[in-house]
Structure 1
Amino acid sequence: MPACTVGLIRPLHRALQLGALLGLAACAGLPSPPPGASAPAADARPAPARPPAPAVSAAVPAPSPATDGLSSPPQSGSAPGAAPATGVLPEPPADTLAAGEPMREIGRGGASWYGKRFHKRRTASGERYDMHTFTAAHRTLPFGTVVRVRSLVNGREVDVRINDRGPFTRTRIIDVSRAAADELGMRGLGVKEVVLMLPQ
């Protein structure tokens, strides 16, 4: 085969390959609407999505004897923050538990507190930490859960709402706000042994 023919075939072959690729790309475009279907308006904008409702937790199920109550496996068929089947969101929990309500222990261990350094910073739940409110950080309890903290040193109690994650030290089970630490009489102690309780 003469050299001039080979020189013409290569560019022609490349042009055919490019044309085939462009043809395939054109076929991959958006399909046209079926006949009779109305096309959407050119300047129509989708409605803004509603932000998801904040997760509201129900009472935490009783721990099995094999666990300490703080690491219970999730119940099958339930998703964290799922709305009840009725379609009506439950009322948010009160910030305190009813007096005289029967309680069950869910854990014992060290409690620490955090204050001014974290004041007004975002918590894991997205709300801003306020050291003057009765809130706490827990590793596993759902956000919004109200838990009673009882000091094993002096017997004082306080109800706190879980709005953050932590503590990240194995020997501690809860980090309470400065206000809760004042109520428990633990600000001078740093870490205090406590019992965590939930309604039965």
Structure 2
Amino acid sequence: MIRKLFISILILGFGFVSEAKDRENTFEKGTASFYSDWFQGRRTASGAIFHQNQFTAAHKSLPFGTWVKVINLQNKRSVIVCINDRGPFVKGRIIDLSKSAAKEIGNLTDGIFKVHILIYQKDTTYIQTQKKSVTLRQRSTYLDFSLINP
């Protein structure tokens, strides 16, 4: 009898731990949107080139390289994306998804989705690809001085 009671308490305890872990992983709830085609091929804030066919997203504060699970609250469909840009800069929106990622969780004609974001994995080894810095003296060698009117 005591053994059954102990096992029951143990199982209930794991249930509470699991629920607490879900709350701990819950990062944010709000509205998601997706990038327009205008951004295709442009450089993101992390330095990477944006492609609509990749599972990437923009977030205002999560570190670049963080993987998040985005769950559509209406249909419960989800997608895992990597944060590689900053945004969205529209009031009330919490994440911008690539078109491929948005298609995974809903209909693109809806335009926006009510979502729940879970931190899937924080990657502290994300490498930003940026152009090499050039000094002013080096830049002046690229100028065509014949174009400057005295």
Task: Give the shorter-chain TM-score range.
Answer: 0.5 to 0.7
* CA-CA distance at 1:139 after TM superposition: 0.1
Greater helix share, structure number: 2
Cα deviations by residue, 1:153-174 (Å, 9 ceiling, x for unpaired) = 1100000000000001221000
Contact 2:67 2:120 in 1 (8 A): no
**Pairing 1:117–2:43 present:** no
TM-score, scaled relative to structure 1: 0.48
Which residue is equivalent to 1:154? 75
Contact 1:186 1:192 in 2 (8 A): no
- What is the letter of the counterpart of residue 189 of structure 1? D
Contact 2:59 2:96 in 1 (8 A): yes
Which of these two proteins has the greater Rg computed from alpha carbons? Answer: 1
Cα deviations by residue, 1:85-120 (Å, 9 ceiling, x for unpaired) = xxxxxxxxxxxxxxxxx6521000000001421100
Describe the shift of the 1:186–1:139 C-alpha distance in structure 2 as closer, same or farther (beyond 3 A).
Answer: farther
Question: What 5-or-longer segments of structure 2 have no aligned partner?
Answer: 1-20, 122-150
Contact 2:57 2:83 in 1 (8 A): yes
SS in 1 for 2:81: strand
Contact 1:146 1:159 in 2 (8 A): yes
SS in 1 for 2:41: coil
**Pairing 1:108–2:68 present:** no
Aligned pair partner of 2:47 in 114, 118, 126: 126
Contact 2:70 2:79 in 1 (8 A): yes
The number of aligned residues is 99
Query: Runs of 4 or more off by more than 4 Å in structure 1?
Result: none
In structure 2, C-alpha distance between the alignment counterparts of 1:113 and 1:182, rounded to whole Å: 9
Which residue is equivalent to 1:175? 96
- What is the letter of the counterpart of residue 26 of structure 2? E
Which residue is equivalent to 1:137? 58
Cα deviations by residue, 1:48-92 (Å, 9 ceiling, x for unpaired) = xxxxxxxxxxxxxxxxxxxxxxxxxxxxxxxxxxxxxxxxxxxxx
Cα deviations by residue, 1:120-141 (Å, 9 ceiling, x for unpaired) = 0000001100100000000000
TM-score, scaled relative to structure 2: 0.63
Question: What 5-or-longer segments of structure 1 have no aligned partner?
Answer: 1-101
In structure 2, C-alpha distance between the alignment counterparts of 1:111 and 1:199, rounded to whole Å: 17
- What is the letter of the counterpart of residue 194 of structure 1? V
Which residue is equivalent to 2:115? 194
Root mean square deviation, CA, Å: 1.5
In structure 2, C-alpha distance between the alignment counterparts of 1:171 and 1:180, rounded to whole Å: 20
Contact 2:32 2:115 in 1 (8 A): yes
* CA-CA distance at 1:199 after TM superposition: 4.2
Cα deviations by residue, 1:139-194 (Å, 9 ceiling, x for unpaired) = 00000000000001110000000000000122100000000011011311011100
